[in-house]
Amino acid sequence: MNSTSFFPSGELRERLLVHRLDMAHPGDVSSLAALLEAGELAAGDVVAVIGKTEGNGGVNDFTRGYFTQSLMGLLARYTGQPAEALQRRVPCVLSGGTEGVLSPHYVIFARRREAAAGAAGALAVGTAFSDPVPAQDVGRWAQVRAAAAAVRMAMRQAGIEHPKDVRFVQLKCPCVTSARAQAAELAGRTVRTADPARSMAFARAAGAFGAAVALGELPDDPGLESAMLSDFNLRSDRASVSSGVEVDAVEAIVLGHSALWQGSLRMACAPMRDALDIAGVGNALQALDLAAAPQLDGAQATRVAAVFVKCEPDRRGRVRGARHTMLDDTDIDAQRHIRGAVGGLVAGVLGDTRLFVSGGAEHQGPDGGGLVAVIADAG
Amino acid sequence: MNSTSFFPSGELRERLLVHRLDMAHPGDVSSLAALLEAGELAAGDVVAVIGKTEGNGGVNDFTRGYFTQSLMGLLARYTGQPAEALQRRVPCVLSGGTEGVLSPHYVIFARRREAAAGAAGALAVGTAFSDPVPAQDVGRWAQVRAAAAAVRMAMRQAGIEHPKDVRFVQLKCPCVTSARAQAAELAGRTVRTADPARSMAFARAAGAFGAAVALGELPDDPGLESAMLSDFNLRSDRASVSSGVEVDAVEAIVLGHSALWQGSLRMACAPMRDALDIAGVGNALQALDLAAAPQLDGAQATRVAAVFVKCEPDRRGRVRGARHTMLDDTDIDAQRHIRGAVGGLVAGVLGDTRLFVSGGAEHQGPDGGGLVAVIADAG
Amino acid sequence: MNSTSFFPSGELRERLLVHRLDMAHPGDVSSLAALLEAGELAAGDVVAVIGKTEGNGGVNDFTRGYFTQSLMGLLARYTGQPAEALQRRVPCVLSGGTEGVLSPHYVIFARRREAAAGAAGALAVGTAFSDPVPAQDVGRWAQVRAAAAAVRMAMRQAGIEHPKDVRFVQLKCPCVTSARAQAAELAGRTVRTADPARSMAFARAAGAFGAAVALGELPDDPGLESAMLSDFNLRSDRASVSSGVEVDAVEAIVLGHSALWQGSLRMACAPMRDALDIAGVGNALQALDLAAAPQLDGAQATRVAAVFVKCEPDRRGRVRGARHTMLDDTDIDAQRHIRGAVGGLVAGVLGDTRLFVSGGAEHQGPDGGGLVAVIADAG
Amino acid sequence: MNSTSFFPSGELRERLLVHRLDMAHPGDVSSLAALLEAGELAAGDVVAVIGKTEGNGGVNDFTRGYFTQSLMGLLARYTGQPAEALQRRVPCVLSGGTEGVLSPHYVIFARRREAAAGAAGALAVGTAFSDPVPAQDVGRWAQVRAAAAAVRMAMRQAGIEHPKDVRFVQLKCPCVTSARAQAAELAGRTVRTADPARSMAFARAAGAFGAAVALGELPDDPGLESAMLSDFNLRSDRASVSSGVEVDAVEAIVLGHSALWQGSLRMACAPMRDALDIAGVGNALQALDLAAAPQLDGAQATRVAAVFVKCEPDRRGRVRGARHTMLDDTDIDAQRHIRGAVGGLVAGVLGDTRLFVSGGAEHQGPDGGGLVAVIADAG
């Protein structure tokens, strides 16, 4: 693939459009339909979607598949392309679970070609799909390489020259259900784990390693396979990875700054060292000339286009020395616990609950913490 | 009862001691045992306990009863008094549910008589128990009056002269299980509701009304009975109410400033207007000369002796205009959701997860919000 | 509407086809697609669907909407009719929650006109939709009448002459979410309850009353409105009612014996007096010449085409004198508990887990019990 | 230890007393208190307790610890022995989780010496405690041997001569919480798994292997360690194993027939080949001359003294060919699902919900099934 093919000559530039939309339930895409109907957005310009749906975020969370089917059906009607083809072209990365104050919503990323005007350089987006990842590859180095290749392809597509210009990588990786594990076993394959929840964790770890390899944070060394879910010093500080039953390949969305794009959108990402790292949230905002005191005021809040957070229940069982109970809870999944807590914190700083807060931050940001990324209008 | 009987002559004063202790599980009172064993605390000086245990906070949360049994057993061994008698003298108000980052812990309140030294005036504590509240009185004006009387009795016992000097009222009120509802019905009584969760809400509402009556925030008007769980403008801004199956009377703990006490402990309480009201947390801290920027620093954090928060999933289904999903969730109780979210926010500001965060803030602070109370050492 | 219009002249008869199909997840309709593709079933002959999906069965169970969208999309492709039109013609009644051993599946009901051959008289099916039921009518007599009218219309459509020939009525009724309750309130309407779970119960109660009115088990007396969820002696012994956010009208499916139909399918329905009433299951089987000793043998099991069960956690808190804990559980919804238990019992007798077991049996069969209905091939 | 020391000379015999008692909550031992108060039972004769409490049955189920504390406190008051000593002498094996119709209850086993009268030979009980099992031994062969030794010791204490006379072995084994895993790791030890739920499974597997070794069903071969949770053909058909955070040693209760005892109690145990194996329940009953048709009648039901069931969500994801959803559910633990389903089935056959139904049947009975054991009065 030739990356230049994505880009116009000097007189034309790309522009990123970001729409943060609400949904009344996981089958509701009426807010997007209204934009399309009004002509504010062309269905063919949509290149990626990241959203939060109100499921449990676990293996049996079908709100992701439901929303995806609804979204692709809508885009199919407006583009005239079959939904199946769209699903292979437009990554739709959903994280289930709107615990606590979090609000179900989705962020539409669109790119539009237009005449060059004003200064060059703006937030850019690129996407890519890997080949299908078979059950036996989930959580293994084969998945790491599939993810790294997808990230690199998305960078090229976005026209992002250097890994350092990448601000945020969002991946969605397939996992192994007990049914898939059965099937693989019958076919003589060994899955890394047949435990569905554990499989989702391995899928996220391998995705994070893949992003880190592509961004130069980790070497492409298969010997590191054993470090997954064991050595948490190995990590990416700009990768957010989800996993779910509804995808069979790695889907990548890469956001970063590129001289081939124009517009006022910028992005920043900062690590969170633990679940209480309110200063980490401030760091991401500060890089975009936003200051919470202690909360963004109304004018600043309107500049925020989207927020993405990864977090993790500290696996050592303590936060700042005090015991937490997330990991020993048979009633509520640990990821649901942490999403609710960190979501409450970030929402308090932003004054907004429309946050993509995703659990399962293994190897994504500091161990026991995670990261926070913000897209804002530079004004 | 004559309140002067609680207090010594002018040469003696009372002092409040506050210990915030961790627990490894709801049957673990070893941290208190260590204090008693070391002589740092006399079992007979303990007058009240407020804590968070790691149950679900609902009707079938038995961690509260388990901890109470363990605590009373320990105090019985050290005081020589029977556990049953202690349970009728030392209110132990527990809120179940350590969602998200919250850490199971308990706060021991003790009072000690000592020679007057230095300036008079400090944080004081008083306690009281109402008569048993029968199932048919739960959520009715009879419970309101029982609660108000208990608050007034506790004020007298604390030597708090004016309602305005009260900083915080913690109540625990009995509720109706389906078994109790059956029994009442067989006895020809009508309970306000036989739904256990609804009954807990009514019990909290009546407790809040009772505190408001005692503090002069509401009149003692039985006509207001119908306003419970319906007119949320009627409220107390200094009351925190729990309810549970393990008590059969209203238990009251009143904290406030009194000239008859000495020491450096002070308390402040501020309303939270909604679940994102990070400024409300700052208000409570500011009143104690504490400033989070954005988090308390280490020196300030050590001055904090205990924190109490009430919160509530906004019953209108939105937080700052964005839909939340707490009230329509069949998997996780709405109170668990909101505790996790607000707990995450307050923990981020305090830099500490040992917070008493209790759901069910009906009529306790602003509708859809709640309140936050802090005890700190004045230094 | 003229019922005769549904039926052919004497040389033609109707035949009911029943297919019980599995699904791999709530978006999977591949088993039906295979039947349509193979020409074993004509999409235009499908008149109703009853199924169980693997959600939580509560207000936030979106597996029902997801499956419905998938099903209607498939039928739309094969019939050429728009999905929206199909959804208004083909009732798809889903119950969420496959607790315990229950298996996600769906039962397709199709009717086919064919030359009269052999004896007349067989199991018949008819369907109907009421007008939309506004939020303020849910759980009120207006909903009862809407349900009764829908049942009568479906009987006519099925060619079932007498109410006594009706074997089973399946209804799906709309309920009130907190969002709908808000909207109704803003419009000056009072909903019977704003509590989502309670609203679902009222919706089921009103549906059951409606069926009972249509079947002559109860009079059409608005004075009985107050008996809903209070006098459980008033009931239908042949009605099964679900409720959910995904419908806005009462959808009715009526099954019974009609002389205008032919074929070997027969149906029987028996009340279950409580959750342990294994004899009740035997009664339904016996009416179809099936005998479990203690389980149906293989030959008998293949004769069973579909099974429908309604059940209920006994609201008095006891089963045969022993306390149960279903109603006081904050972790697991009571309906999930009872579906799992009764599903386990009926599956053990049938030797099959593909059972439609639905909770919320208020006024459907005996109080604290429910009913069991079986469709079998007469051989 | 000399087993004969437990037994009297020929003129005296032992008699087993079994009391099945209800509890209103996990801290309620009033039914036992009433028996002790009335003199119907001597506290010193109590040798073991098996019960079901209404927790979640997982790592954070504290209803077991709460009940144990309450029980031991009561026995301490009546025996004059310290609760701690009693806890080391009287195994109290509790399974949390009364899903569906199951009723919280406990079975008291007492032995009483009395003059020989009538025929010799009756159901006997023996108990034993292993040394503490450190975290790193959980799920390893060291735990298998600890369990086997405890079973043999209990057999000797019961006077059961041959393994074939053993009817039922109940074990409770310690597991690893995340806190314990942390501690072990700090001490340089490697736990078999740090995942709490997985650790409970390994603890049960090792307990089952231990019982099988003691009963001659498996050889004492450390090479079999890797077969735990992997080769499910290796099993005991008479062992029931629970695990929990509240014990640190293997506790064993062995029930079987012995010529040194007298009385009319007999016991039978039968495997269940899967969760629908209603015939397996019949087999256990038949061995005791009980016949369900389809349910035990009143006279027969009164002969039943206690029932113990082990069950397991089939790890292959299917029951009799149809998919189940227990293993992929993030909302409800798989063990809770299966207990509810199998509990419903067995309760329907027995006509009684006071059943000890315990999940986690790894290597206890057939894979995907489990076993059912019944104590009855021979009449």
pLDDT at A4: 47
Q: How far apart are CA D31 and CA D23, in angstroms?
A: 7
pLDDT tens digits for C49-64?
A: 999 999 999 889 999 9
Identify the weakest region by mean pLDDT among A181-190, C231-240, D218-227, D250-259: A181-190
Report the residue from C182, C198, C317 with minimal CB separation from B182.
Answer: C317
Q: What is the CA radius of gyration of chain C?
A: 19
Is the four-CA dihedral D268, D272, D276, D280 of positive or negative sign?
negative
- Domain C12-115, CATH 3.20.20.120 — does that match? no
- The topology under which CATH files domain C264-377 is 60s Ribosomal Protein L30; Chain: A; (3.30.1330)
Name the phi and psi angles at B356, rounded to 5: -85, 100
Rounded Cα gap, residues B270 and B287, in angstroms: 9
How many other C-beta atoms can be found within 10 angstroms of the C-beta atom of residue C117? 10
Do residues D296 and D285 touch, judged by C-beta distance below 8 A? yes
Instruction: Read off the pLDDT of each residue in C251-279 and give the average, rounded to a whole number.
Output: 98
Q: Are D307 and D372 in contact (CB under 8 A)?
A: yes
Residue B85 — pLDDT band, cuts 50, 70, 90? very high
Measured between beta carbons, which residues in chain C are less than 8 angstroms from residue B327? Answer: 178, 196
Would you say A234 and A209 are in contact if contact means Cβ atoms under 8 Å apart? Answer: yes
Report the pLDDT value the prediction gives residue C5, as an integer from 0 to 100: 57
C343 close to D (CB below 8 A): yes
**What's the rounded Cα separation, in Å, for the pair A110 and A15?**
8
CA distances from A313 to B118, C116, C157 (A): 47, 68, 57
What pLDDT score does C2 carry? 41
Report, as an integer, the average pLDDT of D203-208.
Answer: 97
- Whether residue D275 contacts residue D359, with contact meaning beta carbons closer than 8 Å, is answered with no
- Residue B2: the pLDDT is 42
Question: Which residue in this structure is represented by tokens 């209070």?
Answer: C230
The pLDDT assigned to B6 comes to: 65
Best of D30, D62, D103, D331 to substitute, by most chain B Cβ atoms within 10 angstroms, is D62
Residue B359 distance to chain A (closest CA, Å): 12
- Other CB atoms within a 10 A radius of the CB of residue A9 amount to 7
Q: Where in chain A is the domain with CATH 3.30.1330.170?
A: 12-115
Cβ distance of C330 and B198 shorter than 8 Å: no
The separation between CA D193 and the C-alpha centre of its own chain, rounded to angstroms, equals: 24
Query: What are residue D173's DSSP bridge partners?
Result: D243
Give the pLDDT mean for C365-378: 97
Kind and range of the H or E run holding C78:
helix C63-79
Q: Encode pLDDT of A361-379 as tens digits.
A: 999 999 999 999 999 999 7
For range C4-26, the mean pLDDT = 87
Q: Where in chain C is the domain with CATH 3.30.1330.180?
A: 122-255
Amino acid code (one letter) for B52: K
Instruction: Give yes or no: B164 in active site.
Output: no
Shortest CA gap A374–chain D (Å): 30
Distance from C-alpha of B230 to C-alpha of B228, rounded to nearest angstrom: 5
Over chain C, what is the mean pLDDT?
A: 95
The C-alpha atoms of residue A222 and residue A200 are separated, in whole angstroms, by 20
Question: CA end-to-end span of chain C, whole Å?
Answer: 35
Mean pLDDT of D1-14: 69
Q: Can you give chain D as a three-state secondary structure string? A: CCHHHHCCCCCEEEEEEEEEEECCCCCCCHHHHHHHHHCCCCHHHEEEEEEEECCCCCCCCCHHHHHHHHHHHHHHHHHCCCHHHHHCCCCEEEEECCCCCCCCEEEEEEEEEEECCCCCCEEEEEEEEEEECCHHHCCCHHHHHHHHHHHHHHHHHHCCCCHHHEEEEEEEEECCCHHHHHHHHHCCCCCCCCCHHHHHHHHHHHHHHHHHHHCCCCCCCHHHHHHCCCCCCCCECCEEEEEECCCCEEEEEEEEEECCEECCEEEEEEEECCCCCHHHHHHHHHCCCCCCCCCCCHHHHHHEEEEEEECCCCCCCEECCEECCHHHCCCCCHHHHHHHHHHHHHHHHHCCCCCEEECCCCCECCCCCEEEEEEEECC
So what CATH class is A122-255? alpha beta
pLDDT value at D271 more than 90: yes
Q: What percent of chain B has pLDDT over 70?
A: 98
Q: What are phi and psi of A10, to 5 degrees?
A: -60, -25
Closest residue, chain A, to D96 (C-alpha): A330
Using an 8 Å CB-CB cutoff, list chain B residues near A273.
none
pLDDT averaged over every residue in chain D: 95
B-contacting residues in D 151-190 (Cβ below 8 Å): 179
Contact A124, A263 (CB under 8 A): no
Measured CA to CA, the distance from residue D115 to residue D119 in angstroms comes to 12
Please state the rounded mean pLDDT for residues C329-333.
Answer: 95
Task: Check whether the bond before B294 is cis (ω within 30° of 0).
Answer: yes
Tell me the three state secondary structure of residue B103: coil
Taking contacts as CB-CB distances below 8 angstroms, the residues of chain C near A66 are 26-27, 62-63, 65-66, 69
Q: Is the pLDDT of residue B197 over 90?
A: no
Identify the weakest region by mean pLDDT among A162-171, D29-38, D75-84, D180-189.
Answer: D180-189
Q: In this structure, what are the phi and psi dihedrals at residue B354, rounded to the nearest 5 degrees? A: -85, 75
What are A349-362's pLDDT values in tens digits? 999 999 999 999 99
Residue that has been written with the tokens 């051959």 in this structure = C117
Query: Three-state SS for A358?
Result: strand
Where helices occur in A109-140 by DSSP H, the ranges are none
Neighbour subunits, C (≥3 Cβ pairs < 8 A)? A, B, D
Tell me: pLDDT of D1 over 50: no
Which chains have 3+ CB pairs within 8 A of D? A, B, C
Ranges in chain C annotated CATH 3.30.1330.160:
264-377
- Asked whether the predicted pLDDT for residue A2 surpasses 50, the reply is no
C70 included as an active-site residue? no
Tell me the chain B residues in contact with residue A344 when contact means C-beta distances shorter than 8 Å.
100, 275, 340-345
Residues 6+ apart with CB under 8 A from A53: A23, A26, A61, A63, A64, A66, A67, A94, A95, A96, A98, A104
C-alpha C266/C-alpha A366 separation (Å) is 64
Q: Find tokens 């307790």 and name the residue.
A: D49
At which residue do the structure tokens 């003199």 appear?
Answer: D39
pLDDT tens by residue, C102-159: 999 999 999 999 999 999 999 999 999 999 999 999 999 999 999 999 999 999 999 9
Which of B59, B178, B317 comes nearest C179 by C-beta? B317
Is pLDDT above 70 for B86?
Answer: yes
Residue from C183, C93, C82 nearest C129 by CA:
C93
Of D63, D73, D179, the CB nearest to B62: D63
Asked if B97 and B67 count as a contact pair (C-beta separation under 8 A), the reply is: no
CA distance from start to end of chain B: 35
- Identify the CA nearest to A258 among candidates A165, A168, A170, A167: A165
Q: Which of C61, C95, C178, C193 to mutate to test the interface with B (most CBs of B within 10 A)?
A: C178
CA distances (Å), origin B258, targets B9, B111, D56, D304: 15, 13, 46, 65
The position carrying tokens 């190995």 is A234
Complex prediction ipTM: 0.94
| Band of residue A181 on the pLDDT scale cut at 50, 70, 90 | confident
Which of B240, B242, B258, B358 is labelled catalytic?
B242
Q: What is the pLDDT of residues B129-145, one digit of tens each?
A: 999 999 999 999 999 99
- By the CB < 8 Å criterion, does A207 face chain C? no
Is residue B267 within 8 A of residue B371, CB to CB? The reply is no
> What is the pLDDT at residue C1?
37
> What is the reported pTM?
0.95
B-C Cβ pairs (cutoff 8 Å, strict): 62
Q: Is the pLDDT of residue C379 over 80?
A: no
The backbone torsions φ and ψ at residue B44, rounded to the nearest 5 degrees and listed phi first, read -70, -15
Structure-token pair, residue B365:
């602070």
Q: What number of CA atoms fall less than 13 Å from residue D133's CA on the CB side?
A: 33
**Tokens encoding B238:** 């200094």
Mean pLDDT, residues D139-167:
98
Residue D2 above 50 pLDDT? no
Q: What pLDDT was estimated at residue D20?
A: 98
Please list, residue by residue across B141-167, b when 16 or more beta carbons sit within 10 angstroms of its beta carbon and e when fewer do. Answer: bbbbbbbbbbbbbbbbbbbbbebebbb
Rounded mean pLDDT of chain A? 95
In this predicted structure, the answer to whether residue B219 has a pLDDT above a threshold of 80 is yes
